[in-house]
């Protein structure tokens, strides 16, 4: 099983600096359940060289699973996995610059309600 580690930049978001590792872990859990098919295992908060990371194990993750994607690409992936992306004005205001070369955004999606 391959081991991965996501580097966390808590200083980039001073409002959520204390919660950045927990938030990243929660985001990865949602992504795993919604898109990666439950392949993520051994999810943990850790430090490497004193720097916070979220580490996990997973098998079968390819370039498509681990690539950094544009918003439109993520919307297509979410939609192809049965999720409804929320794109009203309130959901389009999360994009913000966290570093000279890093722009972070938030994509909100949900499973459509079952109607009988």
Question: SS3 for 55?
Answer: strand
Side-chain half-sphere CA neighbours of 87 within 13 A: 10
pTM over 0.75: no
pLDDT in tens, 38-94: 899 999 988 888 877 888 998 888 777 766 667 787 788 788 888 888 888 888 888
Q: How far apart are CA 46 and CA 42, in angstroms?
A: 11
- CA-CA distances (angstroms) from residue 15 to 18, 25, 52, 115? 8, 17, 17, 39
């Amino acid at each position: 099983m391959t081991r991965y580690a996501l580097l966390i930049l808590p200083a980039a978001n001073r409002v959520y600096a204390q919660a950045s590792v927990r938030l990243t872990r929660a985001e990865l859990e949602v992504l795993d359940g919604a898109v990666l098919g439950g392949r993520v295992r051994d999810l943990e908060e850790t430090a490497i060289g004193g720097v916070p990371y979220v580490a996990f194990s997973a098998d079968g993750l390819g370039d498509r699973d681990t690539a950094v994607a544009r918003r439109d690409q993520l919307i297509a992936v979410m939609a192809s996995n049965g999720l409804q992306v929320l794109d009203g004005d309130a959901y389009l205001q999360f994009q913000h610059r966290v570093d000279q070369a890093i722009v972070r955004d938030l994509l909100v999606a949900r499973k459509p309600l079952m109607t009988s």
